[in-house]
Amino acid sequence: MRARPPQPRRGGDCALLAFVLFSAAELVPPALAVETTVQNDSFVSGGPAVIVGDFVPGEQAGVRLTSPCNGDIVAVQIGWLASNPGEPLSIERAIHIYNGATFPVPGPQLAILEAPVLTPGALNEFRYLDDQGSIPLRVAVTTGQQFYVTLEFDNPTHVGTGGASVFRDTNGCQSGRNVLFAIPGGWLNFCIFISGDLVIRAVIDCNPTGACCIPATMGCLNLSAANCATAMGIYQGNGTNCATTICFPMGACCLPNGSCLNNVSPATCSAQDGTFQGNGTTCASVNCPPPTGACCFGIAGCIPLSQPDCAVAAGNYRGDGTHCADLNGNGLPDVCEPAPCNPCDTNCDGSVNSLDVSGLVNALLTGSANPCSPCNSDTDNSGTLDGLDISGLVGCLLAP
């Protein structure tokens, strides 16, 4: 194609058509992966199209595309059209994929597909670098990366006499997206000559990424699911990212006895029967509830309460960490059996210590033991509450 001022034949205005385009699946085996087609053109099957010509051998027509994702170019598609329905197949010189960082002159070549066979009236799809179909096309791209796909002609095109060539849509040529390698003239902005975008496309197998939590390093990387597995990580799902993902939360842990641990993981907290308070929390910022245990009300039943709440409710507290269901031989959680008799526990706090002295003194002065004590403070087991029970209590306190 000779470089010259814009002419009607450069846009192929002599071949304005509307036709039904063959699907790419009719020409090649269907793709197995979920893929994304990248295009500049707005052409749809059955819509208007304009054949672009005439080219001479060695010239190239192409488009500059932008990748929507991290992935691989696995196919290219070349729209090929003739006004004469009887036009034969055409074997052209090559399809090129170039780096698209600059315009209109491409950067380094990324791949070449030799001797493509083009069928008129079809969006011809190519997935192999060689004509034997043994070397798959696979060019790695990243999100936002620009690249060119061009067709290099090996035959002159004569669209005025019904010959086949590339074609374009009819709603305007987008700046910076269509290129021509002219002989002579070199690389040019094709929008100088045509008023639509060429129907040349690429198919990209997008590799979705997500946050990958890596226990070995306690870190996070944005990887594909496959690469995350290779890194022995835990994939958090497509579309997630490390900026918003908390891989290894650490915070305060409230233990059953009411105490608190700082800077522990949920797993560590759970292993100690604790309650994790959330990532970033500290013991200073949380209020751990007091320990609870079985609070018995005789035949009225049993409920878990803290010791202070059980006392307010006039219940019989069975100790921190006890459970109502564990106190019954019959397995019924709503009835408590009598607590084991320990007459020296005169104040019924679950332990024998110096505080029981005041409990016994109060029992002797009033003539009655603490009503919660099952043995009425008869510390010497004489059957009578009297001064001799003082010696019994001393014996309990001195016992090993």
CATH number at 106 reads 2.60.120
Q: What is the pLDDT of residue 124?
A: 97
Of all helices (H) and strands (E), which one includes residue 166? strand 164-168
Which sign, positive or negative, has the C-alpha torsion 269, 274, 276, 282? negative
Same domain assignment for residues 213 and 201: no
Do strands 178-182 and 60-66 pair parallel, antiparallel, or not at all (unpaired)? antiparallel
Last residue of a domain, one of 248, 271, 301: 248
Q: What is the pLDDT of residue 34?
A: 67
Instruction: Decide if 63 is inside a domain.
Output: yes
Q: What is the pLDDT of residue 216?
A: 92
Instruction: Decide if 31 is inside a domain.
Output: yes
Same domain assignment for residues 226 and 259: no
pLDDT > 70 in the chain, percent: 82
Best CA proximity match to 137, nearest among 202, 209, 224, 198: 202
Instruction: Decide if 27 is inside a domain.
Output: yes
Distance between CA atoms of residues 289 and 132, nearest Å? 74
Q: What is the DSSP letter of 22?
A: B
Q: For residue 8, name the pLDDT band (cuts at 50, 70, 90).
A: very low
CB 76 within 8 A of CB 203: yes
Q: What is the pLDDT of residue 21?
A: 54
Q: What is the pLDDT of residue 236?
A: 94
Of 336 and 124, the one with more pLDDT: 124
Evaluate if residue 110 carries a pLDDT over 90. yes
Lowest mean pLDDT across 73-82, 273-282, 304-313: 304-313
Map residue 130 onto helix, strand or coil. coil
Instruction: Decide if 320 is inside a domain.
Output: yes
**Angle at CA of residue 386, ends 384 and 390, nearest 5°:** 120
Q: How many CB atoms lie within 10 A of CB 195?
A: 16
pLDDT > 90 in the chain, percent: 53
Best CA proximity match to 79, nearest among 193, 191, 168: 168
Evaluate if residue 168 carries a pLDDT over 70. yes
Last residue of a domain, one of 228, 248, 268: 248
Asked whether the bond before 104 is cis by omega within 30 degrees of 0, the reply is yes
Q: Where are the alpha helices (DSSP H) in the chain?
A: 225-230, 266-271, 307-312, 355-366, 388-398
Same domain assignment for residues 215 and 311: no
Q: What is the pLDDT of residue 70?
A: 85
Evaluate if residue 336 carries a pLDDT over 70. no
Best CA proximity match to 296, nearest among 281, 314, 271: 314
Evaluate if residue 65 carries a pLDDT over 50. yes
Q: For residue 258, name the pLDDT band (cuts at 50, 70, 90).
A: confident
Highest mean pLDDT among 140-149, 234-243, 375-384: 140-149
Same domain assignment for residues 212 and 280: no
Evaluate if residue 30 carries a pLDDT over 50. no
Instruction: Decide if 74 is inside a domain.
Output: yes
> Tens of pLDDT along 286-310?
999 888 888 888 766 788 888 889 9
Evaluate if residue 29 carries a pLDDT over 70. no
Start-to-end Cα distance in the chain: 109
DSSP 175-243: TTSEEEEETTTEEEEGGGT-SB-B-EEEEEEE--EEEEEETTTTEEEEEEHHHHHHTT-EE--TT--TT
Same domain assignment for residues 91 and 192: yes
Evaluate if residue 32 carries a pLDDT over 50. no
Instruction: Decide if 3 is inside a domain.
Output: no
Q: How many CB atoms lie within 10 A of CB 395?
A: 12
**How many domains does the structure of the chain reveal?**
4
Same domain assignment for residues 302 and 217: no
Instruction: Decide if 1 is inside a domain.
Output: no
> Tens of pLDDT along 356-369?
787 777 777 777 66
Distance between CA atoms of residues 38 and 68, nearest Å? 8
Residues with Cβ within 8 Å of residue 45, at least 6 apart in sequence: 19, 20, 21, 23
Backbone angles phi, psi at 223, to 5 degrees: -135, 165
CB 258 within 8 A of CB 290: yes
Distance between CA atoms of residues 90 and 92, nearest Å? 6
Same domain assignment for residues 280 and 296: no
Same domain assignment for residues 57 and 19: yes
Same domain assignment for residues 262 and 389: no
Evaluate if residue 334 carries a pLDDT over 50. no
Distance between CA atoms of residues 263 and 256, nearest Å? 17
Same domain assignment for residues 128 and 213: no
DSSP 102-113: SSSS--SEEEEE
Same domain assignment for residues 271 and 308: no
Q: What is the pLDDT of residue 7?
A: 36
Distance between CA atoms of residues 62 and 153, nearest Å? 11
CB 258 within 8 A of CB 291: yes
Last residue of a domain, one of 285, 306, 334: 285
Distance between CA atoms of residues 272 and 371, nearest Å? 36
Evaluate if residue 5 carries a pLDDT over 50. no
Q: What is the pLDDT of residue 328?
A: 55
> Tens of pLDDT along 177-188?
999 999 999 999
Q: What is the pLDDT of residue 163?
A: 93
Evaluate if residue 84 carries a pLDDT over 70. yes
Instruction: Decide if 299 is inside a domain.
Output: yes
Evaluate if residue 330 carries a pLDDT over 50. no
Map residue 356 onto helix, strand or coil. helix
Mean per-residue pLDDT of the chain: 84
List the domain range (segments joined by +) for residue 244.
208-248
Evaluate if residue 329 carries a pLDDT over 70. no
Same domain assignment for residues 243 and 256: no
Q: What is the pLDDT of residue 3?
A: 36
Distance between CA atoms of residues 209 and 228, nearest Å? 9
Evaluate if residue 4 carries a pLDDT over 80. no
